[in-house]
Structure formats: C-alpha cells, structure tokens
Chain A
C-alpha cells in the first residue's frame, strides 16, 4: 500500500491540473435523450436523420474523459480478496485500480460513477471460452490469435453483458504436451490491452482413457487419450527430460563458465516451464482411478496440475492429497458415461455432484468453475453457456461451498489458475481496473452487470446495448411499452 502513495500524490496533482483546464467538458449523452441534431454537432444540419440512427449515434458516443481518474462511489464493493465493503469507493487511475475502501478521497474532476445501491465486483474470468475474440479466431502456423482478434464481435459484447472481462480460449490436450491457449480481455472496440498472454498453458493428456466429449455426451471433441501404458510413458519421459534439463540449467546458471547453456526440444522446455510453475498444466481426470494415477504423477515430479473435469474428486481426497492440484470443474456435471465400472456409490441415478466443489474447498483446494459449454450465443443452451457463468458458482454454493469460494471460483481462483492473479481477479490497489457495477449482489440470480469497465474504460452499459436494455433495474415495474421497437 505504501508504495502507492507517491503515484497517488502525483495523480492528484495531475487531477488538479486537469480540473483547472478552462475548457468545459463535453456534455455527456444520456440514454433517454431523444434529441437528434441539437446534441450532435454536424456540418450538415439540414440532413434528415432516421430516429434509429440518432439513437444509434447516442449508443456509440462515449462520454468525454478529461480526467484520468474514475471513481465508483457509495457502492457495496466485493473485493474477493477480502470481505465486502459497504458504501465504499473504488478509485481508478487510467487503467489500474489506485485505491479501494471507505473514505477514499476522490480527486476533483474525476469521472464519477454513482454506485448508490449498486454492487461492484471484479470482472469475471471464463477459464474456457469460444469465439469471444471473433469468429475466425484460430491459431494456425505462425498466426497468433491475438493478431486476428475482432473486438467488435457480438459475442464479446454478450460476454461483457454476462460480466466476463477476461477469457481463455484455445488449447487441446496431447500426450506430448500442447503449449496453447490465448488469454485476452474483452476490450470491446479496441485492441489496446486486449492480448494478455498467448500460448498460456500446457495441455496434456495423461489419465484420460476416453476421448474428450462435448456437453451432453455427443461426438468426441478431442483426440482419444492414450489407452496403454506406453502413451502415458511418453508424458513421464518428457517430464524426466524436463527434470534433467532443469538440473543442467541450474548448473549452468550457478557456473556459466563451466559449459554451454543447455538446450532441449520445445516440448521438454514447455514441461520444464510447467515444473517451474511458470505456466499452468491442464490435465483431464474424471474417475477415481484417473485422479489417483494423476496424483502419483504429480507427486513423483512435484508437478502442479490443473485438473479438469474432476467429477469424482469429492470421493478421491486421500489420493489427491499426494499431488499439487487446483481444479477447473463444473458443479453440474455428471460422471462421464461408461468410462469404467464404478462402485455402487458412484452409480446413483442423479449423476451430478454439487458437493464436489464443497468437498474440495474443505480440503483446502482452489477451484474454479466453468459452464458445460464454453460458447456464448443467442441461440440458446440457456443457463449452460458463458452467459450464465455466475450460475455455476451458485451451484457450487448450493452444494455446500462458501459464498466466498463461490465468487472466487469465477474471479480470483480462475486468475490464480491462469497465473494472471497479479493483474486480475480481485479489487485491489495496483490491479487492472476490470470492474462490474451490478444492480444486485454478484451471485444473485437476478443480477445484471449495468456498467462494465475493462482496463479502466467503460466497454459495456446495459442501458445502451440492445441485449438487456429492456429489462428494468427495478423489476417490479412492468416492461417498457413496445420495448422491442424502442431498443
């Protein structure tokens, strides 16, 4: 905190200078304003303009930002890293959070977002996403996803309406390890600050004996896992070589004159980076036997692993204790079909295990949740894609996890898994200003994100985007007449 004082004073000085600026700020456009030519200066005032176009122009006009400060005041703040702060302030300087708490002085001229009666949460993180950075988004050859991102695409806007500000897309597991996946931010309308990390994780097939399947069973969406010990041996061999590589590297660092810098295959260095804890390793394991096998691997090589699926983790805690794990799971997922014969306890007819997150939390593990489908669309799959990410957290709570862990499971825990918790995941001074202003508590099933900030910039306003602007904040009032026309 102390380190921040000096920049804070500088920032206040800048703020004062900005406040002294004699030019009056441009009038902000209001969503209800239906005036046409008066509010939009134009060199051709005589032109006719359709009303829809005028309304559209409003929606696209961003308020003029004179001060580098933005302050969300008088709101209930959910920092995730600590308890909620009633009637608190989040002060943002440019793209970072400068301070958070009660009685924070707000520099003059700062852009104020009135948070009275509102709740402020850190932007949600989707651990798996599909096409929120654009439809034609794929890595091929030297082409990096960040170089084709489309920050105008509708899925990004929809993700923002669901409160998702950071997403992780791409990557499929292989026994030799697949260094892939792009972490980006939903910086709608700009590429500035969109890319966070490319090739952000190592995807490994190890314990799986089944091909990866989409939601509801369906066709395999990934390659079949290794069915014999020799394929698993591939992973172990790579890890052994990575351990050797790290030893040689440590030796070289200790004594650079003693020889050449060690080199290794790309796969080996990737595993070495995973052992260093530099990149996360995602490995799928569902059943008890798979989880136990993975635990042995993790223990042998001291390898930190992000376990995906982990459907039977709640029943595998003694085995899991041997390894180093974090979990990415879905509290609504049922055990995958026919993987292997299960014991009586597993074969209960309801299938899904809402106590899974609760059991993991009590055992001290970090878990993040993800929906059954990583996509987002207007086509449906209601409540099971990214549009309802907070609902997954609610199901974790329903199964017995704490509310804190529930909220963390779509924010800070996901950030820790992706190793970007130095930047996002909680409302703390120094972190990126990715903030949600919500009309209710973040995990209330009625909540909507009303204003979304990414990197300190307002990228989504519920009132101005046609997705949910017909839903009034106070739901006791009826829908606006002809809302389908007015929007």
Chain B
C-alpha cells in the first residue's frame, strides 16, 4: 500500500497535510515495505494453535508467513526483531467504542438516525484518544454513536504512528460505515418505536419479496434467505417499494448485510425486548450487554446471537457473591467480544482485566479470540484482521511475556506493519 493510497481514504480535503504525510511516510514507510522478521517465544495465531519459538515475516504491511523457527528460515535481507521470552498476538479489535468526539445522538430512545454517518465526526483531537487506545493494545476501533433508539452508523479507525496524525477512516463496507448502533431501555415508548421501525423494515422486505401484492397485510413466513428476495426484486424493478433512509439500514441488518449492535444495559431490558425479537425473527443484532446481564445467558443462547461484554464481574445484589459475567457466557458457548469496562480513554489495565477473566476459568485461547477474531467476525473483517496468518494485515502486539500474566508488558503495537506505539521509546 502506498502512502498516497493510505491518505486518500481520508475524507478531508487537506491536500497539504496529505502531501506532508506522504513525504513523511516516504521516509518512515520503508520500515513497513521492507521484509521484517519477528522471532518470539510464542506466537498466538488465534485461528490455530499457538506456535512456540515462532517466526513471523511481514512485508508491505501484511503477514507473509507464520511458522516455527525450525521451518521458517529468516531471509538475510530481513530486519529482525527478537527478544527472549517475547509473545506475539494479533492486535485487539474494539467492536463497540463510544466517545472519541462522536456525539451520542437522541437521548429519548424513540427516534431513528439510521442514516447518520459519523465518519466526518472523528476530529483531530479524538485522534489522541485513539492513539491512547493503541497503548492498551487496540489496533482497530469501531466507533459508534451509542445511545437509545437507532443512533447511526459506525466508522472503523486504526491508530497511526506519531508522524501520521490523520485519522484513517477505514472503508470497510464501501459506504464508510461498519455497522448500525441501536440502544434499548425498557419503556412503553421505546418498545413502540422499535416495533414501528422494525415493522417498516419488515414491510419493505415483504414488499420486495411479494412485489405484486404490496398492500397485503399478512406477511409471508420469514425465509431468512436474503438472496432469493434480492433476485426477485431485480426481476420486478418497476414496483420496488420506496426506500426510507431512516429504515433501510435496519433492512440491511435484517438481511445480514450490515452488522447491528443493540445496547441493552440491564437484564430486564432483554426480557422486555425478547417479544419484539420473536415478532421479527430476521432481526438478530449483536447484543451489547451490561454486567448484570449474567441472568440472561439462557435467553441469549436461545436467541443465538453473539454478545459484547465488558470484562467486569458484579456482586449479586445484597450479597458478596461474585458473578463473573463474561465467564457465564463463555461457559454457555456464546461468542463473546470483550471490551474495557470504561469508555475511552479509560482503557488502562485492559490486558490485566483480560488476565482476570483467564484467572476465573476461561481459557487463554477463548479470551484472546474474544478481543481479536470474534469482533472481526462480528464486523465481517475476519479475512483481514483478527488472527496471525499469511496474507492478513500485520496488526500485531509484541509482549514481553505471556500476555495473560500481569507482569508482562506490551512492548510494541503495530498497525499494518507500522509501529504506532513503542513502550521502549521515551515518552
């Protein structure tokens, strides 16, 4: 990837800055274009088993090869990065980040801003916070306007090196948006709102599937097969139903073209939302739950959706009984993405909190997946990031030891082969 190509995805008309960045990157850039070999005591591949005494070759911002040192000779021309006892993991992915200068939108929870794009909202000052997130190990963040109602579409950002301060808005889905943010707090009005807007989305899908009878009130049983309805639509283009921009993203969520994140703080919220999900079987968003939602494990399992959880545990009301909420979900076999308890920039100690989840009985592999591959799959970018494998983006975390041991330090954070945080550098 050339520096120009990288800078061009920014939507800001800042030609001068782009040129300056390009000039700088021409200088810095060699580091990522050159073949680099990283030799570590253990590489956590995520997709496969961890490899002891491993070598990872990266070039042009991508991983070329991952393998045991005995089977992966280091080419002579390569720069070599190695240290005794070092571990290597893929960079962490935050699927549900709020803040970063993005306003949260409506507070009432009864309006749709589904068409809202927040890519333009990422301000230069938020960039410092994103850089701070890098220190906690995050190499990608899905920034969302998080609140009640339908609050808008998210944007994917990655930290960059100090020299490259322009926010890099990742163009994951072509339209610049990664996902749709929604939030539900149980009330008569919010229930009514979700029933109405999902009803509109469902009606669009029904009309598309049955173009000749648009006024038919009885809906066809849910097919869940988006391709068939799409092909039918293309046959009958003249009678295509009208597209409401406030509704269409929800259609996309139902058709599984756009990931949907639904925030529900309290477990009784899910009890109140469950009947709505029963009414709309195609609507199966990723649930972002509060720590009290350990009570909802069975319900979530029944719904068959992945969840986003914070690392924290809770005390059962009026007792000193600790409930490690994430552990309950891991035990039930539900795909879990773990995020820090506090919003940005309070990500400090995230790795330690992950180690606490390990201490409470979840395997290292599962915990690592929950911050890499699982969020990548949620966002549909698992082919590019979330694991160590040939051809994947070189988003890497270099640790001084086992990442789930509190004494280990995060030494270096790389995004696309470029170091964006180096703990050995003077601050």
Contact = CB atoms under 8 A, between A and B. Distances in A.
A151 B272 CA distance: 10
A224 B295 CA distance: 43
B323 interface: yes
Contacts of B271: 151, 190-191
A147 B187 contact: yes
Given A42-B331, A44-B331, A189-B295, A148 B186 contact: yes
B266 A466 contact: no
A466 B187 contact: no
Contact of B361 (A49, A52, A152, A189): A49
A378 B268 contact: no
A260 interface: no
B267 to A, nearest CB: 5
B191 A147 contact: yes
A228 interface: no
A144 interface: yes
A151 B268 contact: yes
A141 B108 CA distance: 13
B361 A56 contact: no
Interface string A179-204: 00000000001110000000000000
B189 interface: yes
Contacts of A466: 316, 318-319, 321
A47 interface: yes
B321 A143 contact: no
B189 A154 contact: no
Interface string B358-383: 00111100000000000000000000
Interface string B317-334: 111011110010001010
A150 B269 CA distance: 8
Contacts of A55: 321
B263 to A, nearest CB: 16
A226 to B, nearest CB: 32
B361 A147 contact: no
Contacts of A350: none
A44 B192 CA distance: 41
B70 interface: no
A400 interface: no
B321 A48 contact: no
Nearest to B295: A152
By size class, the interface of chain A is 20 to 34
A189 B324 CA distance: 19
B272 A147 contact: yes
Contacts of B316: 56, 466
Interface in B124-181: none
Contacts of B192: 142
A146 to B, nearest CB: 8
Interface string A64-81: 000000000000000000
A42 B363 CA distance: 14
A149 interface: yes
B292 interface: yes
Contacts of A143: 187-189
Nearest to B359: A48
A134 interface: yes
Contacts of B333: 43
Q: Is the interface of A mostly helix, strand, loop or mixed?
A: loop
Interface in B228-275: 266-268, 271-272
Contacts of B188: 142-144, 147-148
Contact of A48 (B189, B266, B267, B361): B361
A487 interface: yes
B361 A47 contact: yes
Nearest to A141: B189
Given A147-B187, A148-B187, A134 B268 contact: yes
Contacts of A141: 189
Interface string A315-354: 0000000000000000000000000000000000000000
Contacts of B361: 47-49
A154 B186 contact: no
Interface in A128-171: 134, 141-144, 147-154, 157
A150 B186 CA distance: 9
B187 A152 contact: no
A2 interface: no
Contacts of A44: 331, 363
A467 interface: yes
A467 B321 contact: no
A53 interface: yes
A153 B316 CA distance: 10
A189 B270 CA distance: 12
Given A48-B361, A52-B322, A149 B268 contact: yes
A186 to B, nearest CB: 13
Contacts of B268: 134, 149-153, 191
Centre residue among B292, B360, B362 by max chain A CB count within 10 A: B360
Nearest to B296: A152
A487 B319 contact: yes
Nearest to A198: B188
A150 B317 CA distance: 13
A154 B267 contact: no
A378 B323 CA distance: 21
Contacts of A47: 331, 361-363
B108 to A, nearest CB: 10
Interface of B: 186-189, 191-192, 266-268, 271-272, 292, 295, 316-319, 321-324, 327, 331, 333, 360-363
Given A56-B323, A152-B266, A466-B321, 18 more contacts: A42-B331, A44-B363, A47-B361, A47-B362, A48-B361, A50-B322, A52-B322, A53-B322, A53-B327, A55-B321, A56-B321, A147-B187, A148-B187, A148-B188, A151-B268, A152-B267, A157-B317, A191-B268
The 5 closest A-B pairs by CB, nearest first: A154-B317, A150-B268, A47-B361, A147-B188, A143-B188
25 contacts: A47-B362, A50-B322, A52-B321, A52-B322, A53-B322, A53-B324, A53-B327, A56-B316, A56-B323, A134-B268, A143-B187, A143-B188, A144-B188, A147-B188, A148-B187, A152-B266, A152-B267, A152-B268, A152-B292, A152-B295, A190-B271, A378-B318, A466-B316, A466-B319, A487-B319
